[in-house]
Each structure stands twice: as C-alpha cells, then as structure tokens.
Structure 1
Amino acid sequence: MKKKLFINGEWIESEQYADLFSPYTEEKIAEIPLASEKQVDAAIDAAYNNREVMAKLTAYEKAEILEKLVDLLKENRVKAAQIIAMESSKPLKFSLGEVDRTIETYKFAAEEAKRIHGEMIPLDAAKNGADRLGYTLREPIGVVAAITPFNFPMNLVAHKVGPAIAAGNTIVLKPASQTPLSAYFLAELLEAAGLPKGTFNLVTGSGRKVGDRLVTSDKVSMVTFTGSPEVGIGIRNKAGLKKVALELGSNAGLIIDDKVHIDKIVPKCVTGAFSNQGQVCISLQRIYIHENLFEAFTAKFKEETEKLVLGDPLDENTDVSSLISRKEQDRAKAWIDEAAKEGAQIISGGVIENNILLPTVIVGAEPHLKVSCQEVFAPIVTINSIKNVEEGIDYINDSKYGLQAGIFTKDIHTAMNASKRLEVGGVMINDIPTYRVDQMPYGGVKESGNAREGLKYTIEEMTEMKLVVWNQEQY
C-alpha cells in the first residue's frame, strides 16, 4: 500500500518513501511518502491561498461538512478502528472506542461551528463612552499547522482539525510518523464530505524537515502540537509571534483516601493504567493510597492486572499489545530495571514476552526514579502508601508536570481541599485522572502545556477577537 501526499486537493507522489511496519507483527504495512521542503511549502501555500474560501463559508456550511464527516465515520467505523489497531497496535476494543470518540468530537465541532460569537461591550460604563456601541467578533486566525502524536491518531487529530474547520481556518496536518494511515483515511473522508479544495493539506515526513518548515513559515498563523515537552518547547522557541498551543506530557497521579471501597475502584484503576499500553497522556502512572488500604488494594490490583489478555491488537479480546516501537519498549524496560535496582518491588510484570511488555506494577518506588518523576508512556504503574491525603497531594505536586490528577474520598472537605491544592489543569474527584470527554477543557500547567483543548476552547484559541466600536453621533 503506497500512499500519497494530499496537497491542494490533489494526491501527489513524493520522490522518497519510508516503509511503515506494524509494531506488533513487525511486518511491512505501507509505504509512506517523505515530503520535500518544496512540497511542504506547496501545502502551506495551498492553505494560505485558500484562506478566503474557508473564511467565507457560513456557519451552516461548515457544520454541514462536519456532519457529513460524522456520517462517513459512522459508516466506516470498523475500518477506521482496524487502521488504528494495525498502525499503532492499540487493541481493537480501544481502537473502536477511539473512533466513537472521534465521531463525537467532530459532532461537537459541527455544533460549535454554529455557536461562534462575540459579545456586546457596555462602553457607556466609561466616562468617555456615551453614544457608542461596542461589540466583538470572532474571526478565523488563518492557516493552522497541526502536528499530532501516535497514541490517538484519529481523535487527537480531530481535536485540531475539527475546531479549525468550525472556526473557518485552513489546515496543514503533519501526523506522527508511525501513525499516518489514520490521517490519510481522514483526508479521503474530508474530500468526500465536500471540504473545499486546498483548505486541508496532509504532509508526512520527519519532524525536523516537515515540522520545522511549518513552525517557521510566516504564512502559518498558529501551530497546535501534542507531544513531548522537549519538542514543544523547541516549537515555541522557533515559532516567533505566531500563536502556539501545546499539549505536552504528564505522570498522572491518584490519591485514594481511607475508608474508600476499593473493590469498586480497582478495575477502573487497572483500565486507567494499562489502556493503550499506558501510552496515554493522562494514563494513571502514580497511585498514592492510605496505609490502611495499601495491602488489600495492592493485592487486588495485582490480581486484576494479571487477568488482562495480551496479544494481537486486531483480536477483539486483547487488552494489551505491543508498545509503539522496540526503542520505546527497551526504554521502558530499562526504567523498570532501574527501579528494581534501587530497591522498588516489581510485584507483577516487568518482563517482555512475544514483543509485549507485560503490565507492570511497582511498589515502593522512590520519587526520584524515572518511573515516578518522568512520563513512562508504557504499561507501568507505581503504588505507594501514604499516611494522609495531604501527603499524597505533596507527592503529586512534586512534579514538573501538571495535566490531570484524581482523588477518591468520602469526605467533601477533603475533596474540596484537594481540588484547590493540586497543581494540575484538571482534578477528577472520585475518578481516575485518565477520565476525559471531548468537549471539556483539557490541558495542563507547568511542563504539561499552555493551552486547553475541547471544541469550544480550541475554537477560542483558533480565532482572533476583533473589536468594533460605533460612534452613534450624526456626522
């Protein structure tokens, strides 16, 4: 399967191609074009030259295109999920879940396209404001460059493409090198949905060549990126005055207070820790549980973890499959070995079998270890006992990240205090930090990012506010 770039409404071959391999079987599944700088520039030019075409679409027309895309995704739900599973090794049950969320995300985008509005400004509240009418408008920002990660190759693309279309912007998309097939499928569906020619462009290739060209182009008005803090900081430093929205890393923590019914929360915690092999920005990585519940919780968590089905991502029964690459697998294994060497106890997993890193549960990992203080992005979770919730809050806040955190407690005052003290973008009370629905404002503080995604909030990022003031005196 040899793919082509999608530039200015045309499918274009590249001079160079790279083989794409399945992370699970390691078999070749496609040939992916490597865009030249000239082709990246052509994609940017197409988006730039079609800004007015997109901006002139009515709210009704933009919503209609997005609704057609929703219908096409519903018709192709299983095919879309199989593409995700094949290129990323996300188990099929979770790939189907991602497609369902993608459908919902574009549905929200269609609805929000009809709700973009400014506000009236009461100018006469100022001494000098009599006889003047003031209001604001929201206008498209222009060309949006979207750089997306591998872990949600459809839904995290939707969180950038959906609001960009709703806001009336044009787009150049650069998907992750390991998961471009989902993006190519999207391009086909957008073409069928009637998106105007040249307003959506898709280029694949190295971040250094394609990404840098997008980030530094004067014709790009905004860069939206999801990925590592190191790359995100580099983008911000190169982008100049253009708007940069960054969704970066995390090592999400959960506090479990005394007297919580652990039987109800253990299955939820296991899912939060090991879905998509732990390759989720808000994957449950650190659990801090009251010392009175520690032994019972740990035993049950280990038991539930070892029930997970490992295997082929295309098998509907599989819970956990391969990590995105051998390199990531080896890195994660090295972090586990470091923790064991430093005195932590590996109570489950910690080994690689049939190209799969077994779900790994670590007890007693010190805060300075990589499995605690960095983003593991692998099926690894640490469990530590705490004397009280305050101690757990201190542990969670002792991090360079701050995306989401969770707390289970029966005490409303404890919950309120935690919601105020936790240094994160989102606090989940009586839930795991992995909880997300697609219309909520999602984003972090510290090295977890500088923006919020969620359709309404992204549209605000992707539009410029214009003030209009009418002097009502007669001239």
Structure 2
Amino acid sequence: MNTTAQPQGFWIGRHRATSPESFEVRSPYDDTLVARVAVPTDEQVEQAVAQLAAAARPARELSAHQRAAALDHVSRRLTERAEEIARTITAENGKPILWARGEVARAASTFRWAAEEARRFSGELQRLDTDAASTGRMAVTRRFPIGPVLAIAPFNFPLNLVAHKVAPALAVGAPVLVKPASSTPLSALLLGEIIAETDLPDGMVSVLPLSGRRTGALVTDPRLPVISFTGSEPVGWGIKQQAWNKHVTLELGGNAAVVVHEDWPDLRAAAERIALYGTCQGGQVCVSVQRVLVHERIAEEFTALLTDAIGAMRQGDPTDEDVQVGPVIDEENAARLESWIEEAVGAGAGLLHGGTRKGTTVEPTLLRDVPDGTRLAEEEAFGPVLEISAYRDLDEALARVNSSRFGLQVGVYTTGIDTAFRAHREIEAGGVLIGEVPTWRADQMPYGGTKASGVGREGVRYAMEDITESRMLLLTGLAL
C-alpha cells in the first residue's frame, strides 16, 4: 500500500497518469491512512473519453482469440498477485482477509469465464426456406457492442464487481471506463495496471477515481451509450432518469429473504449458514440475508439455533485470519444501523442478540418480529443485522417474501420439489435458490433483480448479451 505523500496514479488507457488534486483512502476498521489517490482533471477525463470513443472500432474488430488472450492474461495475473490484491481489499474496504481472498479468486474466475465465452460468442444461423418465398435464404444473427461502457462500481466488492463489468465488455469488444467507489479505488487501479499489460487497443480501458460531479457529466455524455451501475437505489434510478436515451443496467440490492420450511432436515446447518451469510463482510452484500421466515412448527427450535450461530460469529481486526465479520464502510453507516435497530426495538421487536456498535463495528444482530413500517422491515440494512419471524403455511411465506418492494434473490430451504417449483413460479425476484441462502452466487450464472432491485442481468454471458445488440445478415441464393 502507498501510504507516502506521493498520490497513487490512475489509468488512461494503458498509461498511468497523475494530477495535483488527490484524496485519502482510509481503513474503515481503524481509520489508518492506506493511500492517497490522484483525481483526474477535467482535461484528463476528456482525454480518456475521447480515447475510449476512438478505440470503439478497433476494439470491435478484435478477433475472438485476441479478446480471449487478454482476458486469460488478466485472470492469470490476478491469481499470481492474489495475496497482494486481497490485502489491498482488506485495507481499503475492511473486508476480513478470508473473504478478500475469496473475492480475488472469484474475480480471476470471472475473467476466465469471459475468456471462454469470448471464444464461443458466435451468434446463430436460421434457415428461412421453411416457406416457399424464402427458398435459398438464411439469416445470420450476430451481436455487436452498443458502444463504450461507463462502469460505475460500489465499495462492497471493489474488485469482483468491477470484474463483472469489465470482463464482459472486453469479451464482446466494448471499450469501458471504470469509475470505482471513492472509498475503495485501489483494487480497481490494480486491475487497471494488469489490463495495461495486455495487447488490447490503447484507450480501450480507463480507470478514473472521480467525484460525483464529474461522474454526472459522464452519465449524460453521448459517447458512452451504455451505463452499468451497481450501488444505492436512489442514485441508480437517478442515473436511469438522467440517461433516459441510453442502455442502462442497474444492480441496486434489496432486503433478501430466506424461507426455512418445515420439511428441511438439518436445522442446525441451515442456521449456521444463514448466520454466516447474514453477517459476513459486515453484512455489506446486496443479497445478504436480512429477513428469515421460518415455519411455526420449527420456529422455536430454529430461532434458538440461529441466535447461537449469530453469537458465534467472530468479529474484529479484518487482517486476523479467523475473523468473519468486519466493520461497515464508515461511521455514518454504523450509526444508521444503530438507529434502525433502536427504532425496531422501540416499535416492539425482540432483541435476541447484538444491537450495539463501537465506531464502525456493528455487533452481529438478530431481532424477532420486526414490525411493518420500520426501516429494518422495509429497507436494505446493508449491515450484519437479521430479523426472524414465523409463518403458518407456504401461502403466507410467499406472500411475505413478495411484500417487499425489492426482488433480487431469495433462498428457500425445502426438500419438496413441488415447493421448489412453486417458489420459482411465484416469488418475484431475479433468482430463487433452493436449499441455499440468497447470498450465494456463481459468477457465470444470471444475476439481477426485479422491482426496486434494478434492471438487466450480470453473470458473464448474460452481461455480454445485455451490452450488445443483435444484427441480422441475410444470405440469398444458397443451396440449402
């Protein structure tokens, strides 16, 4: 980490640049200085965008093997530098080192998947001679980039959520400008350094740590016709409103629910998994478990198991190999969580465990029967806070899951195939996970939400489709 007075530079294409203006990156855990980072000037931002626009054609004309080779290189280098990058994530984000290492491994996998998809992103053939008037004709449909991508990334996965925007763009030949979160720019800058080692066209990828004002100007810049945003709901919908004539993908989070049905055989294992994935990484995961719905026949037993499991979560210094729950990103969010907990308890919720904070560290917390209308019941906590309540039957459970204005992912613990398919049919969310917490994600699967959780899909192949448009070629006079 660069803790000297010399600010760390940013990336305009494959060239590192700096400027007189800079800001500090500090550890969320103990507020120590991690690095200083230079902020691009308006002229440097214009240079990056102009280069991005100029790179659109050569990027689109790259062969599959050229795109795949670059992606393979990034995947390999992430693996080679894994420990360095993991410690950077922990330093700037406060994520426990065990989860930071997992994030680097996932990012390497994301680029590997993109390399594989780049090799088989071929389009489709459709013979048209099914009708006499179309004899000898065939349609070839391929997908081409809509244009350069503005990728706005959040703080909670400062490497892998950048990877989920950059890797699909490179796989289809789309230039991309990365705007990392101001609190966690270092991981994205390391990624920019690795990408600069490839043979991609110069100017195809830039990484610029920008303020909100300068990002707002890019949102409306016509040279960036695609925007991929992961972050808070108000900002995301504001971007979509501003960029009404652009292609916008939004990943905005939610208050993820998990249903534990009466037929699930191993309640202890389910409780331990729910506790882990409701509190890990400080609960700062878009699909972190927040609402736990348990069948009334097993509610008392399961509540006791979950309370014990949450109490067993290890919290502390994120550089400690045994720590599972780190701090939240800043004291403002820690204070917000504290006030939401106090509001819920004041409205009648039972406090089963936790409820306190010290600085940015919020104790893993479990509440029972949080009343409707409280912020913990209605909004995304984005912290290590869960609430549990009982339901009578599956009708009630599914209705309560769908009562949320969010719909990203939902977990359902059941062994019943009919229950699983009914949940898939009726739950209004982008994903339904059977026998698993909603927090689980494989980087190649489709990932995205409905309702207030956003629009569009990530997951490498699905993102490749999302940022491209189909174009049909008609061939005539063929002997089919």
TM bucket, shorter chain: over 0.9
**How far did residue 435 of structure 1 move?**
1.3
The yes-or-no answer on 1:232 pairing with 2:236 is yes
1-side partners of 2:417 and 2:139: how far apart? 44
1:401 and 2:403 correspond: no
State how far apart, in whole Å, the 1-side matches of 2:337 and 2:446 are. Answer: 30
Q: Which residue of 2 aligns with 1:47?
A: 52
Q: 2:226 aligns with which of 202, 222, 226?
A: 222
CA contact (8 A) 1:33 1:205 kept: no
Residue 303, structure 1, aligned to residue 313, structure 2: no
Q: Is the 8 A contact 1:366 1:372 kept in 2?
A: yes
The match for 2:202 is 197
Which deviates the most, 331-340 or 260-269?
Answer: 260-269
The alignment partner of 1:124 has SS state of coil
Q: 1:249 aligns with which of 239, 246, 253?
A: 253
Aligned to 1:449: 454
Q: Deviations over 1:128-165 (max 9, x none)?
A: 42332211122222211100001111111110100100
User: CA 1:354 to 1:149, structure 2 compared with 1: closer, same or farther past 3 Å?
Assistant: closer
Question: 1:431 & 1:421 partners in 2: Cα distance?
Answer: 18
- What amino acid is aligned across from residue 364 of structure 1 in structure 2? D
Counterpart mapping for 1:261-300 below 5 A: 261-300=266-305
Q: TM-score, normalised by structure 2?
A: 0.96
Cα distance in 1, alignment partners of residues 388 and 403 from structure 2? 16
**Deviation readout 1:283-338 (Å, 9 max, x if unpaired):** 00000001121111111111111112111111111111210011111111110010
Match of 2:438 in 1: 433
Partner of 2:63: 58
Q: Does the 8 A contact of 1:64 with 1:110 survive in 2? A: yes
Equivalent position of 1:104 in the other structure: 109
Distance 1:228 1:354, change over 3 A: closer
| CA shift for structure 1 position 178 | 0.7
The SS at the match of 1:163 is: helix
One-letter code of the match for 2:282? Q
User: Residue 268 of structure 1: SS of its match in structure 2?
Assistant: helix
The answer to whether the aligner puts 1:179 opposite 2:153 as a matched pair is no
Measure the CA separation in 2 of the matches of 1:117 and 1:185.
Answer: 31
1:133, 1:472 within 8 Å by CA — same for their partners in 2? no
| Counterpart position of 1:212 | 216
Contact 1:174 1:210 in 2 (8 A): no
Output the CA distance in 2 between the equivalents of 1:62 and 1:238: 32
CA distance in 2, matches of 1:26, 1:283: 25
CA RMSD of aligned residues (A): 1.5
CA distance in 2, matches of 1:281, 1:307: 23
TM superposition shift of 1:14: 2.1
Match of 2:380 in 1: 375
- Please tell me whether residue 115 in structure 1 is matched to residue 147 in structure 2: no
Report Cα offsets for 1:26-85 as digits up to 9, x if no partner: 112111222333322221111111112212221011111111111111111111100100
Secondary structure in structure 2 of the residue aligned to 1:284 = coil
Q: Deviations over 1:410-446 (max 9, x none)?
A: 3222222111111111001111111110000111110
Percentage identity across aligned positions? Answer: 36
Distance 2:47 2:204 in 1: 12
In structure 1, distance between residues paired with 2:381 and 2:418: 32
Structure-1 residue corresponding to 2:472: 467
The alignment status of 1:413 with 2:418, answered yes or no, reads: yes
Q: What residue is the counterpart of 2:366 in the other structure? A: 361
Instruction: Tell me which moved more, 119-128 or 346-355.
Output: 119-128
CA distance in 2, matches of 1:436, 1:186: 22
Equivalent residue for 1:322? 327
| Correspondence 1:258 to 2:262 | yes
What is the letter of the counterpart of residue 160 of structure 1? K
Three-state SS of the structure 2 residue aligned to 1:80 is helix
- 5 Å matches for 1:57-76? 57-76=62-81
What residue identity is the alignment partner of 2:242?
Answer: K
> Post-superposition shift, 1:127?
5.8
CA contact (8 A) 1:203 1:210 kept: no
2:96 match = 91
Specify the SS of the correspondent of 1:361: strand
State whether residues 60 and 114 of structure 1, in contact with CA within 8 Å, keep that contact through their aligned partners in structure 2.
yes
- 1:154-206: per-residue Cα shift (whole Å, max 9, x none)? 11111010010010111110001111000110011111233332111111121
Worse-superposed segment, 403-412 or 326-335: 403-412
Q: Secondary structure at the match of 1:433?
A: coil
Count of matched residue positions in the alignment of Structure 1 and Structure 2: 473
Contact 1:40 / 1:214 at 8 angstroms: preserved in 2? no
CA distance in 2, matches of 1:380, 1:238: 33
Q: CA deviation at 1:354?
A: 5.7
1:79 partner letter: E
Q: For each residue in 1:397-416, what CA deviation from the matched residue of structure 2 results, as whole angstroms up to 9, or x when unmatched? A: 00110001111123222222
What does the per-residue CA deviation read over 1:189-225, in whole Å, with 9 as the maximum and x for residues that have no partner?
Answer: 1112333321111111212x23212211111121111
Instruction: Determine if the alignment matches structure 1 residue 386 to structure 2 residue 420.
Output: no
SS of 2:474's partner is strand
Maintained 8 Å contact 2:430/2:450: yes
Q: Deviations over 1:91-133 (max 9, x none)?
A: 0000011111111111100100101111122333356423322
Q: Which runs of 5+ in 1 are unaligned?
A: none
Quote the offset at 1:276 in angstroms. 0.8
Q: In 2, are the aligned partners of 1:404 and 1:428 still within 8 Å (CA)?
A: yes
Q: Which moved more, 1:189-198 or 1:154-163?
A: 189-198
Structure 2: distance between partners of 1:473 and 1:182: 52
Find the counterpart in structure 2 of residue 344 from structure 1. Answer: 349
